[in-house]
Amino acid sequence: MGQTAWTQLPFLDLSRFSAGPGERAAFLNELRDIAHNLGFFYLTGHGIPQAQCDEILALSRRFFALSAADKLAIEMVNSPHFRGYTRAGMERTRGLADWREQIDIGAELPALPMNGALDPWWWLQGPNQWPAALPELRPIALRYQAAVTDLAIRLVRAFLAALGQDEHAFDSIFSPNPQQLIKLIRYPGREDTGGDQGVGAHKDGGFVTVLMQDVQDGLQVEHAGEWINAPPVPGTFIINIGELFELASNGYLRATVHRAVTPPAGTDRLAVGFFFGARLDATIPVLQLSPELAAEMRGVTVDPLNPLFRDTGRNQLKSRLRSHPDVAQRHHADLV
Q: What is the pLDDT of residues 245-287, one digit of tens each?
A: 999 999 999 999 999 999 999 999 999 999 999 999 999 999 9
- Indicate whether 117 belongs to any domain: yes
In this prediction, residue 88 carries a pLDDT of 93
pLDDT level of residue 3 (50, 70, 90 thresholds): low
Residue 254 domain flag: yes
Would residue 3 count as lying in a domain?
no
The Cα 269–Cα 313 span in angstroms is 31
194-209 average pLDDT score:
93
Q: What is the CATH number of the domain that holds 330?
A: 2.60.120.330
Cis upstream peptide for 176 (omega within 30°): yes
Owning domain of residue 326:
11-335
71-93 CB burial, b ≥16 within 10 A, e <16: bebbbbbebbbbbbbbbbbbbbb
Residue 76 lies in a domain: yes
Give the model's pLDDT for residue 5.
78
Inside any domain, residue 1 = no
Query: Is 4 part of any domain?
Result: no
| pTM score | 0.96
27 in a structural domain: yes
CB neighbours of residue 117 within 10 Å: 8
What's the number of domains the chain is made of? 1
Q: Give dist(CA 112, CA 114) in Å, integer.
A: 6
How many C-alpha atoms does 46 have within 13 Å on its Cβ side?
28
Report yes or no on 2 lying in a domain. Answer: no
